[in-house]
């Protein structure tokens, strides 16, 4: 089996020995969605249930932020979804919520959207990137897969110059995480 050069989301000495099969095993192609609503004294159970219902309809990885002083029924309630990590989604949800809130109190993350059965892995890809990776990162010859650590953007390219092409497809701030 060929080995891939990996620039993983976290760097480890074992990363250089990670195979394509290993990476495929870290992803969640057929998982349902699990929404973790965080306990907050300002979030009644019925509103938490409503957020959970909305959250399961979003792609993973995501986060839900609200303006605590305004409740959930305002434009400041934001679900950022289809990111590569919940941390990146939380940053985006908070940014967008705070930009829309009218109250003085800052927004807070009240929920996380993950694949069912989720466990932290060295490689995590958004739901869209997972599908593309599993379906299209195949075959012989040079290929590269790039992601943006702060968004859900990704790019896949094959052939000569694959790494540069994957970064160009992904956009500013992207880096190659897999190539051979």
Per the DSSP assignment, residues forming a β-bridge with 5 are 179
For the chain, give every domain's residue range.
Answer: 5-27+121-179, 33-115
Question: With 80 as the cut, is the pLDDT of residue 108 above it?
Answer: yes
Residue range 88-109: average pLDDT? 98
Q: How far apart are CA 144 and CA 155, in angstroms?
A: 8
Average pLDDT, the chain: 89
3-class SS of residue 132 = helix
Residues 8 and 11: their CA atoms lie apart, in Å, by 6
22: pLDDT strictly greater than 60: yes
Round the CA-based radius of gyration of the chain to a whole number and report it. Answer: 18
**The pLDDT of residue 18:** 60
Give dist(CA 142, CA 133) in Å, integer. 15
More confident residue, 140 or 3: 140
Alpha helix stretches (DSSP H) within 65-126: 86-100
pLDDT of residue 21: 80
CA-wise closest residue to 83 among 53, 118, 112: 112
- Extract long-range pairs of 141-145: CB within 8 Å, 24+ residues apart: 142/179, 142/180, 143/179, 143/180, 144/176, 144/178, 144/179, 145/176, 145/177, 145/178, 145/179
- Confidence class for position 6, pLDDT limits 50, 70, 90: very low
Q: What pairs with residue 102 in β-bridges?
A: none
| Spacing of C-alpha 8 from chain mean position | 14
pLDDT per residue as tens digits for the range 27-80: 998 889 999 999 999 999 999 999 999 999 999 999 999 999 999 999 999 999
Lowest mean pLDDT among 19-23, 108-112, 116-120: 19-23
């Amino acid at each position: 089996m060929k080995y891939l050069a990996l620039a993983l989301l976290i760097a480890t000495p074992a990363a250089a020995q990670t195979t394509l099969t290993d990476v495929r095993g870290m992803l969640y192609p057929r998982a349902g969605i699990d929404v973790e609503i965080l306990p907050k004294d300002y979030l009644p159970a019925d509103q938490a249930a409503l957020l959970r219902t909305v959250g399961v309809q979003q792609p993973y990885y995501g986060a839900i932020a609200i303006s605590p002083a305004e409740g959930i029924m305002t434009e400041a309630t934001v679900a950022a979804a289809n990111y590569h990590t919940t941390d990146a989604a939380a940053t985006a949800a908070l940014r967008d919520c705070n930009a829309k809130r009218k109250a003085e109190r800052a927004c807070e993350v009240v929920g996380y959207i993950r694949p069912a059965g989720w466990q932290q892995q060295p490689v995590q890809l958004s739901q869209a990137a997972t599908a593309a990776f599993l379906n299209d990162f195949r075959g012989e010859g040079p290929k590269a897969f790039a992601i943006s650590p702060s968004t859900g953007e990704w790019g896949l390219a094959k052939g000569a110059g694959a790494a540069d092409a994957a970064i160009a497809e992904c956009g500013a701030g992207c880096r190659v995480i897999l190539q051979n």
